[in-house]
Amino acid sequence: MSHAPKDRRCPTCHRRYVRGHEQNARYWLLLHLISERIKIDGQDYRPDVWHEWAKSRFIGRDEVHLPNGKDVTIIRSSADLDVDAFSDYMTKVEAWAAERGVFLEDKE
């Protein structure tokens, strides 16, 4: 497995390294498993709801003051994470899930 350089940009085209299809598929598989196996007070939650929760908990939120005077909370996007940051995020989500008995099976 190759790792992105420290500046996280391709040395040829200078584009930012972003997560790939495999990394994204693994993340959504985990969210589906969480959705199937973890109930909060007997309540089921869809994978996309778990996605919003995980981003809020492990990536963070920003408080934004709108022109109409209202303040809102915006959950940071996982799409903004490069490969290394997304790996760190995924590790945190996997650890949280594992503490609750939800594991991804490793392919050998």
Cross-strand partners of 40: 43
CA-wise closest residue to 86 among 41, 35, 24: 24
**Extended strands (E) in the chain:** 61-65, 71-75
Higher pLDDT, 106 or 7: 106
Q: What pLDDT is recorded for position 6?
A: 46
Q: What is the pLDDT of residues 3-43, one digit of tens each?
A: 444 455 556 555 555 677 888 999 999 999 999 999 999 99
pLDDT for the residue 5: 41
pTM value? 0.78
Looking up tokens 């869809």 gives: 46
Q: Among 3.30.950.10, 3.40.190.10, 2.60.120.260, 1.10.3790.10, what is the CATH number of 21-98?
A: 1.10.3790.10
Q: Are 9 and 72 in contact (CB under 8 A)?
A: no
